[in-house]
A and B are shown apart, each in its own frame.
Chain A
Amino acid sequence: MVPLYMAFLIGGLLCLLGQLIMDLTKASITPGHILVGYISGGALLSGLGLYEPLVKIGGAGATIPLSGFGHLLTQGSLKAVEQKGLLGAFSGGVEAAAAGITAAVIFGYLAAVLFNPKG
């Protein structure tokens, strides 16, 4: 198991990177761009084999930032390709992330039913 301080450190650094991007680049970088950048970046690094080492030392510090979600998608895709070939390239990513995506959508719906935006 990864020591807690490493999770804190790696997670903190990944967020710090995001903050630097947001504050130091031109105004047009929105949170949406950050989310897309991180998930794609994580997926890409994962494909190059560079993200797994980060997970090994950072644990949740690497899997919880959205780049970790991208890593999950790519690994899912690669494993499914080993098992199913071409079909796996399409099904693998979604399958691996299914629990997370569904949870987000269902909780979103529930929150909309139960809560109102403050104001």
Chain B
Amino acid sequence: MPAKKKRGAQTLVFDQPPVLTSWASIAGPKEGQGPWGQEFDWSMEDYLFGEESWEKAENKMLRETVKKALNKRNFDEADAEILMAGDLLNQLVSSNYAARELGIPFLGLYGACSTMAESLLLAAILVDGEYFERVIAAACSHHYTAERQFRFPIEQGIQKTPSSQWTATAAGAVLLEPVGTGPRITAVSIGKVIDMDQKDVSDMGSAMAPAAAHTIKTHFSDLNRPSDYYDLIVTGDLGKVGMAITQELFIKDGLQPEPNYSDCGVLLYDDFQEVYAGGSGCGCSACFLCGPLLKKMAAGEINKLLFVATGALMSPITSFQGESIPAIAHAVAIEN
């Protein structure tokens, strides 16, 4: 029997679009000094957030953001039924330890920087399927925990290339319910892993752009929607290089008329903040969605948003072994 809610190859349409009733975001020092600094619920003064290590700080960021999202709806942790969250660290420790403190039944997810879209789409499926009524989707990242794990010690004198990106220190959480006031998730497209043989780990944008373009193209063809259907299509963290490539790929894929398109990694920082090609990390798209973007939707400035978070799925070991960088992108359609 064919699945009733599936459209085309990779897309689901919801009969009872889950409502995003509440959201919260936290930004690190650099992000708070950026152009959207005022749009987040808090901005940290330093990277330790009152904790002894960066890992503990990241864990606290996620925890407090989830609590804040719940509190805005006058709920506390006991009211949330399921938490779906992820981060960049090995064994998902930030999310695991945050879930330990929160005490909410928990599903940890790894999608690299696509985690916010992954948790959002899975949460939407759980709510539309009438399995649960209060599901939190969240993601976080921290610049220094990511650098320690993936790259070089902080004090080492490294010269970055113009295509490299800055892992954002940020977290975002959003509450989904079957009814209520707020923007709704009407459709989601689950991405495939796409690998175009890019090996430069200091240029994630080039590695991820094909995945973003593929998922977006598939989303439109699965739903038979015109490419200018959305007021805005936003990718998670392709950065300036990845964004430019994606725009070329839109043209190549025949996406006409050209959609109104931007990228959270590019928007999050000012040029003088020395972030080269822009922001990256799960927290980049998470905080931008759960801050500026959803605020604009609540105000009616954006009514139809396609949120496409992208992730680069390699590890330091695979890179040392000479492997290329596979990527994935998931799309979530949010409409008023």
A108 to chain B, nearest CB (A): 11
Chain A residues with CB under 8 A of B161: 27
Q: Which of A103-119 contact B (CB under 8 A)?
A: 117-119
- Known contacts A27-B161, A27-B199, A27-B202; A118 and B155 CB within 8 A of each other: yes
A22 at the interface (CB under 8 A from B): yes
B159 at the interface (CB under 8 A from A): yes
Distance of A15 Cα from B47 Cα, bound (Å) = 34
Q: How many A-B residue pairs have CB under 8 A?
A: 27
Number of residues in A with C-beta < 8 Å to the partner? 8
A28 near B199 with CB under 8 A, answer yes
A31 near B154 with CB under 8 A, answer no
Distance of A119 Cα from B161 Cα, bound (Å) = 21
Q: Which of B67-125 contact A (CB under 8 A)?
A: none
A30 to chain B, nearest CB (A): 8
A117 near B153 with CB under 8 A, answer yes
Chain B residues with CB under 8 A of A31: 152, 156-158
Q: Is the interface of B mostly helix, strand, loop or mixed?
A: loop
B54 at the interface (CB under 8 A from A): yes
Q: Which of A71-119 contact B (CB under 8 A)?
A: 117-119
B48 at the interface (CB under 8 A from A): yes
A16 to chain B, nearest CB (A): 14
B201 near A119 with CB under 8 A, answer no
B203 near A119 with CB under 8 A, answer no
Query: Which of A27, A117, A118, A119 contacts B200, CB < 8 Å?
Result: A27
B55 to chain A, nearest CB (A): 12
Chain A residues with CB under 8 A of B143: 119
Chain A residues with CB under 8 A of B203: 27
Whose C-beta in chain B lies nearest to the C-beta of A28? Answer: B199
Distance of A22 Cα from B158 Cα, bound (Å) = 11
Chain B residues with CB under 8 A of A26: 200
Chain B residues with CB under 8 A of A22: 159
Q: Which of A1-56 contact B (CB under 8 A)?
A: 22, 26-28, 31
B144 at the interface (CB under 8 A from A): yes
A77 to chain B, nearest CB (A): 29
- Known contacts A117-B154, A119-B47, A119-B54; A27 and B201 CB within 8 A of each other: yes
Q: Which residues of A approach B to under 8 Å, CB–CB?
A: 22, 26-28, 31, 117-119
The 6 closest A-B pairs by CB, nearest first: A27-B200, A117-B154, A119-B47, A119-B144, A117-B155, A27-B202
CB<8 Å pairs between A and B, sample of 14: A26-B200, A27-B199, A27-B200, A27-B201, A27-B203, A28-B199, A31-B156, A117-B154, A117-B155, A118-B154, A119-B47, A119-B54, A119-B144, A119-B154
